[in-house]
Amino acid sequence: MTVGTNSSPGAADAAEERFPGVPEAPLPADALRGVPQQAPAPGPAARTGFGIDPDDLPDGLVVADAAGQVICFNRAAARMTATEPRLALGAPIERALPLEDLEGRRWWTLTDPYGGLATRRGQPERNLLLPGGREVLVCAQYVRAHPTGPLSRLVVTLRGTEARRRTERSHAELIATVAHELRSPLTSVKGFTATLLAKWERFTDDQKRLMLETVDADANRVTRLITELLDISRIDSGRLEVRRQPVDMATAVGRHVQALTANGQAPERFLVSVSRPLPDLWADPDKIDQILGNLLENAVRHGDGTVTIDVSPHEKGTAVTVTDEGPGIPEESMGRVFTRFWRGSKRGGTGLGLYIVKGIVEAHGGTITVGRGPGGGAEFRFILPVSAPAYLTQ
């Protein structure tokens, strides 16, 4: 790590001498969580004793010695705090890194790392404020030569809050979208049921049937939205379960095409091509139906002309390609197709379907891509690998 000179003569040299001179309490591995440890190389990394250069770390790193004076202040910390390393090195940590909690209280006074209980091992990550009101995520590790001995080194990491804010905004947007999509069908269900209960005798059988069919369709829509919300939660948390069974992909595609034609689509609009022999496919049948349903509905809703579904063997398993003859997806939007809330040129839907499709395909160990078809329309292709349940491979 390159260090500047401190404001007092020789302070930087003293800091650099102190830093490697604490062999009795080496920095623990969890103090640099996620950073690969390696043998020190000549140069700045070797001088620090870390085996790496702190300036290469993506997060801010501030280290204080047993006396509470800063002995390491890396480049990321300097950028976040707008403090030059030469001014921070050798200074007391509470002055080099003045932190306050969200209520305006001085954090170092509250935590008292050097004078508090000797059994403490650190401080969990929390939101704190730098001078000027900038918010940062701060985590502290207390390094002791003995479990209850005095503090020999204080390691503090700093991280920006931008990524967490983006996640929070994404969650808020998801909640707002789902609430908006739920409001319409629930209003319809409530209105029709209240009307039927209050004025049942005034309606003919045909009118009652129409109202009940509308209620049934809206109830299905609510169920689908809740299922999407649960799927997103499982995908984001890595808890999406795949219950593998033998699946005939050609039969599954045919079943979805028949459902679409039964709902009013022209049979000649669909062209199904199956190249045999297909490898044995073990997958979750319900999840495969979700994938095919979303892709075919997307092709029918946003595309034009013939929708071609090609099922063929692939060196990695089974490949399914869905192509339409519509305007296609603009090149600048290709990278956002599988993100949350992406919608094509025609509005409608929650914009969550393709995000869920990608999550399901990847949960099966497969891949999915989007491109432009021969006719200029959108082309979605997913590949599911050959696999089998664990009890068949043991």
- pLDDT tens-digit map of 246-285: 999 999 999 999 999 988 899 999 999 999 899 989 999 9
Tell me: pLDDT of 36 over 80: no
Cβ atoms of residues 287 and 363 within 8 Å: yes
Give the 3-state secondary structure of residue 150: coil
Q: How far apart are CA 384 and CA 363, in angstroms?
A: 10
Backbone φ and ψ for 102, nearest 5 degrees, come out as -70, -10
Calculate the dihedral angle through the C-alpha atoms of 90, 95, 98, 103, rounding to the nearest 10 degrees.
150
Q: Is the pLDDT of residue 34 over 60?
A: no
**Is the predicted pLDDT of residue 38 greater than 70, yes or no?**
no
Amino acid identity at 67: A
Rounded CA-CA distance 52/328 in Å is: 48
pLDDT tens digit sequence for 62-121: 999 999 999 999 999 999 999 999 999 999 999 999 999 988 899 999 999 998 888 999
Cα 354 to chain centroid, rounded: 15
Q: Give pTM, 2 decimals.
A: 0.58
* Residues 135-155 as b or e (16 or more Cβ within 10 Å = b): ebbbbbbbbbeeeeeebbbbb
Gap between the Cα atoms of 373 and 297, Å rounded: 17
| pLDDT class of 346 with cuts at 50, 70, 90 | low
Residue keyed to tokens 């920006």: 160
3-class SS at 128?
Answer: strand
- Which residues have C-beta within 8 Å of that of residue 131, sequence separation ≥ 6? 98
Residue 180 has a pLDDT of 75
196 vs 225, more confident: 196
Q: What are residue 201's phi and psi, to 5 degrees?
A: -70, -20
Instruction: Give CA–CA dist 83/104, Å, rounded.
Output: 21
If one counts every other C-beta atom within 10 angstroms of the C-beta of residue 61, the result is 23
Q: How far apart are CA 106 and CA 132, in angstroms?
A: 14
For the record, the structure tokens of 193 come out as 């049921």
Task: Grade residue 389 by pLDDT with cuts at 50, 70 and 90.
Answer: low
- 91: tokens are 């200074």
Distance, C-alpha 6 to centroid of its chain: 42
pLDDT digits (tens, 9 = 90+) for 7-28: 333 433 333 333 333 333 334 4
Predicted confidence (pLDDT) at residue 392 exceeds the cutoff of 90: no
DSSP label of 8: S
Q: Which of 65-74, 336-345, 373-382 has the highest mean pLDDT?
A: 65-74
Say how many CA atoms lie within 13 Å of 331 toward its Cβ: 0
Q: How do 307-314 and 270-274 pair as beta strands?
A: parallel
Q: Is 185 exposed, middle or buried (0-12, 13-18, 19+ CB in 10 A)?
A: buried
